[in-house]
Amino acid sequence: MEFARLAEAFEKLEAKTSRLEMTADLAELLNGAPESQIGKIIYLLQGVIAPPHRGIELGVAEKLCIDALATVTGQTERAIEASYRKTGDLGGTARLLLEERKQRSLGASQLSVAKVHDNFYRIATASGQGSQTAKTRLLAELLSNASPIEAKAITRFVTGRLRLGVGEATIIDSLSYAKAGDKSLSKELERAFNLSSDLGLVAETLYREGMHAIRAFKPTPFNPIRPALAERLPSAAEIIGKLGTCLAEGKYDGLRLQVHKSGDRVEIYSRRQEKITHMFPDVVAAARRQIKAKDAIFEGEAISYDEETGRFQAFQETIKRKRKHGIGAKQKEIPLYLFAFDLMYADGKDYTTVAFAERRAALKALVSGKGLIELSKAVAVKTPAELDAFFEECVNAGLEGVMAKDLKAPYVAGSRKFAWIKLKKSYAEGLADTLDVVVVGYYYGKGKRTEFGLGGLLTAVRAEQRFKTIAKIGTGFSEAQLQELRDYLTKLKVPKKPDNVDSLLEPHAWVKPELVVEVKADELTQSEMHTAAKTGGRGLALRFPRLMRIRYDKSAKEATTEKEARGLYESQKTH
């Protein structure tokens, strides 16, 4: 397919705000494309060149783009920079420059989706000496054959500024519309996506093989599965009331890992489907040794254990491994355990559809010998008293609480269900649960904090595509966290309030709403200062909010919603 058609579709989509219209436009675009191009089109619409878990990132610096534009248009870099400063959009500048050029260069050829995708891929994977020159050349090749609109799309894409506003759900709906004329296939398509985290693959399967192949979708090693998530209830009595006899497991406060194995190859994915294998060489070795299956996908919570004190260490210690360097040293300092708690796939068998009791038995049979992979601590409980006793035991052992699991439930990827119910120690202290809020701005701080350039955070909950403020957080920070936050947030700083943020407060600096932090508070109150769940001029606010930790493992899309905050506010009245 010609790239021009995609660039035109980008233009149209950018101007649309109605999801329904977007869906219809996308369905038409997909139906007009050859089967072999569908996957690539989907990735380009998502602003990526491969599913995110492959970790193939374009990340072309603006400077490189300006170099390429200079080569193609014959303008000086300074002139291009000056025009960019005026528009604030390098894509817009590229379009203007190419319009001024009047004619395409001699010998220019029509760009195809495949050619553009291929050059993007080569730019992303070029490395080593001379790679900058190679990247500039590959980009210049595209730009010299591009029309003004195509140049705008290409420039925005490579600099990561292509914000079409088409989310995963819109793409799924448009695939359903393309094939059925309505949303009737969306649920099944979504399931396939949840099992593979690869919309390009889902779309291509749909176009090549049809719905029967979508229905037969199974987990496959190295396509991360979107995790099943837990609901919460405030007491053992309510949990037993909901589940009856269930399996209670220790709730480890660590890092959730999804381990994929096929033969000797092992990869590890985070809760957000990022490939994080490099952080866990010890888990990789243990998976090769302890997992008695050629192919397997299972999940567990990784947590460090302090041999001296005989206690598990806080999440912060475990996450220190996030640092790319010094992994060897860290490994010795804090030995890690992986407490396996679920099995999704083994040697051709899809376990996501079978009852948890069977999954747990298969997991037990799969993990063999002594090593850092162990099964999570678990007991079957029938009564609230038994659950409470197990809860006590877990908390005394330094765990965060318990997870009660429905023995009959399947593993429903990517959804929050009462198949798993968490009961945390923190429920007894203050507000029923912590909130995961998104940082939308920060304050420079007073006194000692001025030296860090950060003294507090303005945070928000999520409401569809918007962020509404719920708390100003000024306590709970360690010095290290202040520095870490300052470094991270400086990179996210934007000159004015982002359009998708609703705030009556004006922090010293606004940031792109991306970073999630976990906060604890005494209670939720109503306040005229905040915009979350606003009714009668008053929004919800956290009383005495304090920072617990930075949640790099959660995206803003997974932050606490306005609805959940309202639910917590309501439940305060009853508990």
Nearer to ligand ATP, 48 or 517 (CB): 517
Based on the residue annotation, tell me whether 251 is a catalytic residue of this protein: yes
Min dist. Cβ of residue 327 to ligand ATP (A):
21
Q: Name the one range near ligand ATP by CB under 6 A: 96-104, 125-133, 188-196, 244-252.
A: 244-252
Place of tokens 């998502």: 46
By beta carbon distance, the residue nearest ligand ATP is 256
Interface with ligand ATP includes 403 (CB under 6 A)?
yes
CA distance 441 to 91: 27
Q: What is the DSSP code (8-state) at residue 16?
A: -
Min dist. Cβ of residue 251 to ligand ATP (A):
4
Min dist. Cβ of residue 390 to ligand ATP (A):
12
CA dihedral 239, 241, 244, 246 (to 10 degrees): 0
Site for ligand ATP in 408-437 (CB under 6 A): 422, 436
Please select the residue that binds ligand ATP; options are 1, 58, 79, 229, rule is CB under 6 A: 229
Q: How far is CA 541 from CA 50, 142, 232, in A?
A: 40, 50, 21
Please select the residue that binds ligand ATP; options are 73, 83, 318, 376, rule is CB under 6 A: 376
Q: Name the one range near ligand ATP by CB under 6 A: 197-205, 249-257, 287-295, 348-356.
A: 249-257
Q: Do residues 206 and 179 touch, judged by C-beta distance below 8 A?
A: yes
What is the greatest pairwise CA distance in the chain? 82
Interface with ligand ATP includes 301 (CB under 6 A)?
yes
Please select the residue that binds ligand ATP; options are 252, 305, 467, 477, rule is CB under 6 A: 252
Q: How far is CA 568 from CA 57, 138, 139, 539, 574, in A?
A: 38, 53, 51, 14, 10
Q: Annotated catalytic residue: which of 251, 405, 422, 554?
A: 251
* 456 torsion bin: left (phi>0), alpha (psi -120 to 50), beta (else): beta
Q: How many residues bind ligand ATP (CB under 6 A)?
A: 13
∠ CA 91-499-159, nearest 5°, is 25
Q: How far is CA 328 from CA 70, 278, 324, 372, in A?
A: 45, 11, 10, 16
Q: Which amino acid is at 482?
A: L
Interface with ligand ATP includes 315 (CB under 6 A)?
no
Provide the angle, in degrees to the nearest 10, between the axes of the packed helices 38-46 and 168-180.
Answer: 150
Q: Name the one range near ligand ATP by CB under 6 A: 186-194, 217-225, 243-251, 521-529.
A: 243-251
Nearer to ligand ATP, 179 or 360 (CB): 360
Min dist. Cβ of residue 257 to ligand ATP (A):
9
Q: Do residues 22 and 166 touch, judged by C-beta distance below 8 A?
A: yes
Interface with ligand ATP includes 336 (CB under 6 A)?
no
Nearer to ligand ATP, 3 or 252 (CB): 252
Residues in the chain: 575
Nearer to ligand ATP, 251 or 359 (CB): 251
Nearer to ligand ATP, 526 or 571 (CB): 571
Q: Name the one range near ligand ATP by CB under 6 A: 247-255, 276-284, 465-473, 533-541.
A: 247-255
Please select the residue that binds ligand ATP; options are 12, 54, 256, 534, rule is CB under 6 A: 256
Question: CB burial class (10 A; 0-12, 13-18, 19+) of residue 348?
Answer: exposed
Interface residues toward ligand ATP, by CB under 6 A: 229-230, 249-252, 256, 301, 341, 376, 403, 422, 436
Cite the active site residues: 251
